[in-house]
Structure formats: structure tokens, C-alpha cells
Amino acid sequence: MEKHACIYVAGHRGLAGSAILRKLQSEGYTNLVYRTSSELDLRNQTEVDAFFQSSSIDYVFLAAAKVGGITANNEYPADFIRDNLFIQTNVIDAAYKYNVKKLLFLGSTCIYPKHAPQPIKEEALLTGALEATNEPYAIAKIAGLKMCESYNRQYGTRFIAAMPTNLYGKNDNFDLETSHVLPALMRKCHEAKVNGDANVEIWGTGEPRREFMYADDLADACVFLMNEYDGTDMVNIGTGRDLSIRELAEALKAVTGFDGEFVFNTSKPDGTFRKRTDVTRLHSLGWQAKTTLNEGLQTTYDWYTSHAAQPNKGAASL
């Protein structure tokens, strides 16, 4: 990407998008374009087409999405599949129609089968049934990456798809009703410490294992792929390392200073037992994650405590 190129970051206020925007700014890219969801509704094709037509965009980072944890996915499945299909379809099609040089679409490793062999290779896609608790979201993301593949094949576009593992970091969603496990546990531990509570409840058994990546590492990988990768195969983005939810809770206990006990509510779902990514393809291209889990947790907690009065509700992800 040329330093003066017009680069559109879709979803610039969300976790991934804000990290990508910070990375581009730090690398000296000077012509960055972004809009809030109130300024541009990516679910509206007319608005998206008008925006692309008037903006002369060269590159697109498509990080905009409706996202959430198990609770949100269970309660709003129609919203998750509808909104994400609209966002992806409108932006990818506009990128083709208005001659964008290259687009990077961010999916999620939840696209893979629930019982995929570990670590999960990119080739595992569509080889088995999905995790039921986030199937609508996963199907939308699969459609997005297949849309990129199909436009490349039919129209000769340069659209690439990256599948990040579980992300955390600055601008994460800490709303207990809609957030993912790491920010939810971080908030619970912090509030328990402040309130002097003896216990923090954790859904499930604590045994499932998850891989977590600091969002600024994701951003670094995305800019790397945009500049260095011209293949047509999707690429996993992750650390290749995982830990149990119980181990994550203990790490958060140390970071937040909570000195109570964890109570595991086994009546609640665990979700997929394990989904560690195989990052061989990404490593072979010359990129690896740099931030350790403890470093990332501390930086995220520092950000959260300085913004706790007005926690991010996640609405900006659109």
C-alpha cells in the first residue's frame, strides 16, 4: 500500500478496526477514511454505494461486524446472520464495482467445525457441523470469505480473507450481556475486587481451552498481509497457543488483584471444547505474534480501568 493511498477501515471503533487504524497511523499512512455507524449504515446498499462512489478508495480493511459472546449469539441469532450478511455483501460488492485495489475481509475461527482436528488448519472449513451456539454468525462469515473467493475467480479482484482467533485489547466490549469470555471475566474480577465480593461466577466447567490474541498483533498481521500476501487461500491469524478458561481466570485474577474464589456454573454451556488455530501458513509468510498473554492482559486492564466510567458497549462494531 502506498503511504498516500486512500485506505478505508470499516468498523474503526470496534476492537479489531481500532487496532488496525492505530497501526496504519503509526506506519505513516496519511489518507485514512472511516465513518461511524450513524454516518454510514453498512447494512444499507444505497448508502454504501454512494460512499464508495464519492471516496476513490484504494484499499479496504473490512473489520465491521456484529459480534458478541454466547449469550448474545443465543438470544439474537437473526440479527447476527442478517446484519453480517448485509455488511459483507454491500462492502465487498462496492469494492468490486468501484475498483478497489485490494480488500482484506476479517472472519473468525468460529467458522470451523465444532469437532475439527486440533490445531485447526484452513482446510478444515466445511468438513463438519458448526458449534450450535454461534452457527448463524459463523455461516455469515463463511459466506463472506466465499464471496471474496468467488469475486476473485469471476472478476479478477484481489480480495483476501483472514480468520483471527479470539481477540482482546483496547476498545473491547466489556458489556456483560454481549461480550466475549475474556473481557467479561476481566470486568467481573475488577468489580468483585472493588466491591469486596468473595466469589466470581464463571459459566461452564472451566475446562474448555481457548486461544487469545492481542488486537494490536492482529492489526500488525492484517497490514502485513495487505502488503505482502497476494494468494487466494484464506489465512488463519493467531498465536497457535491456548489455555483453559480456568487458567485464563487465574491469569486475570493476578492482573486485576481479585483475591476471591471462582464458582463454575456447570448448568451453563461450555461451547466448543477446543479451537486452537494452525498458523503454519501465516508463519511461512514471515509473520508471528509478538505480545505475550500477560503483557496483553495488563495493557488491556490498564485501558479498561481508565475507561471504566463509560465502558464500551460494542455498538461501534458496525
> Which residue in 204, 182, 206, 201 sits closest to 263, CA to CA?
201
Does the annotation place 12 within a ligand binding site?
Answer: yes
* Between 124 and 272, the higher pLDDT residue: 124
Residue 190 or residue 180, greater confidence: 190
Q: Is 137 a catalytic residue?
A: yes
Spatial CA neighbour of 245 closest among 185, 198, 197: 185
pLDDT tens readout for residues 171-180? 998 988 778 8
Q: Where are the domains of the chain?
A: 7-169+212-241+275-291+312-317
* pTM, 2 dp: 0.91
Reported as a pLDDT band with limits 50, 70 and 90, residue 309 is very low
Give the tens place of pLDDT for each residue, 110-123.
999 999 999 999 99
Task: Round to whole Å and give the CA distance between 91 and 57.
Answer: 12
pLDDT per residue as tens digits for the range 194-241: 999 999 999 899 999 999 999 999 999 999 999 999 998 999 999 999
pLDDT tens figures, 255-292: 999 999 999 999 988 877 888 999 999 999 999 999 99
Residue 315: pLDDT band with limits 50, 70, 90: very low
289 closest CA partner among 178, 192, 200, 212: 212
**Three-class DSSP labels, the chain:** CCCCCCEEEECCCCHHHHHHHHHHHHCCCCCEECCCCCCCCCCCHHHHHHHHHHHCCCEEEECCCCCCCHHHHHHCHHHHHHHHHHHHHHHHHHHHHCCCCEEEEECCHHHCCCCCCCCECHHHCCCCCCCHHHHHHHHHHHHHHHHHHHHHHHHCCCEEEEEECEEECCCCCCCCCCCCHHHHHHHHHHHHHHHCCCEEEEECCCCCEECEEEHHHHHHHHHHHHHHCCCCCCEEECCCCCEEHHHHHHHHHHHHCCCCEEEEECCCCCCCCECCECCHHHHHHCCCCCCCHHHHHHHHHHHHHHCCCCCCCCHHHC
More confident site: 15 or 74: 15
Confirm or deny that 115 is annotated as ligand binding: no
Task: State yes or no: 14 annotated in a binding site.
Answer: yes
pLDDT band at 308 (very low <50, low <70, confident <90, very high): low
Which residue out of 8, 112, 137, 301 is catalytically annotated? 137
Mean pLDDT calculated for residue range 184-202 = 94
pLDDT value for 140: 97
Amino acid at 74: N
Mean confidence (pLDDT) of the chain = 93
Q: What architecture (CATH level 2) is domain 7-169+212-241+275-291+312-317?
A: 3-Layer(aba) Sandwich (3.40)
How confident is the model at residue 178, as a pLDDT? 76
* C-beta separation of 27 from 223 below 8 A: yes
Whether 13 has a binding-site annotation, put simply, is yes
**Annotated binding-site residue? 153:** no
73 or 303, which is more confident = 303
Measured over the CA atoms of residue 17, residue 313, residue 91 and residue 52, the dihedral's sign is: negative
pLDDT at 70 (0 to 100): 72
Q: Is the pLDDT of residue 312 over 50?
A: no
pLDDT in tens, 2-53: 999 999 999 999 999 999 999 999 999 999 999 999 999 999 999 999 999 9
More confident of the two residues 271 and 252:
252
165 is in an annotated binding site: yes
